[in-house]
């Protein structure tokens, strides 16, 4: 969910495919879809937007579309700790659906089709782990963010999702600009 004037919460082809995927619970119940839309329209009114997000969650607990709605809302509001909590939940949901370890540190490249970019659920897992790594770094947990980024590169050695850039940013942090 983004402020008015920015793209639709389901505008990317990845999100469109993920949200409609039977792997992730299929279609969104109409009540949840309505409340997500209303939350987006209520962007400026935090209490109202959050009430609609809660109602969407009540209608479709742990549905990926609802989780993405919460993630975007918190992220664009600058509420990074809450965004991180949603990223953790997304990782847990994706791990459960993929039947892989719940702890990302224990996931291996062969546990899912991480190398096949057209495999939606593994790709969702990778993008979620990337968001998790980024948020950890933004919140000052640099070692955790770096470890998650290295795991991403292990799972996606061709770096289709762009984890190497996160690693480069991490490794430059703290260096003097005059170097």
* Dihedral over Cα of 125, 127, 131, 134: its sign: positive
Mean pLDDT for the chain overall: 86
pLDDT in tens, 67-104: 999 999 999 999 999 999 999 999 999 999 999 999 99
Of the chain, the end-to-end C-alpha distance in Å amounts to: 39
pLDDT in tens, 117-143: 788 889 999 999 999 999 999 999 999
Closest by CA to 91, choosing from 57, 55, 133, 61, is 133
Task: Return the DSSP state at 107.
Answer: -
Question: Is 0.95 topped by the overall pTM?
Answer: no
Coil vs helix vs strand at 1:
coil
């Amino acid at each position: 969910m983004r402020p008015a004037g920015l793209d639709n919460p389901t505008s990317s082809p990845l999100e469109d495919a993920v949200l409609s995927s039977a792997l992730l619970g299929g279609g969104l119940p109409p009540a949840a879809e309505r409340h997500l839309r209303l939350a987006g329209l209520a962007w400026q009114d935090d209490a109202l937007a959050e009430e609609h997000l809660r109602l969407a969650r009540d209608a479709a607990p742990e549905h990926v579309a609802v989780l993405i709605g919460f993630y975007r809302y918190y992220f664009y509001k600058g509420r990074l700790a809450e965004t991180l909590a949603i990223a953790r939940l997304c990782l847990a949901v994706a791990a459960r659906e993929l039947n892989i370890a719940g702890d990302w540190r224990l996931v291996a490249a062969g546990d899912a089709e991480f190398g096949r970019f057209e495999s939606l659920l593994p790709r969702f897992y990778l993008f979620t782990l990337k968001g998790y790594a980024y948020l950890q770094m933004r919140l000052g947990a640099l070692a955790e963010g770096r470890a998650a980024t290295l795991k991403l590169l292990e799972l996606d050695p061709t770096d289709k999702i762009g984890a190497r850039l996160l690693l480069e940013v991490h490794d430059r942090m703290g260096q003097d600009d005059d170097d």
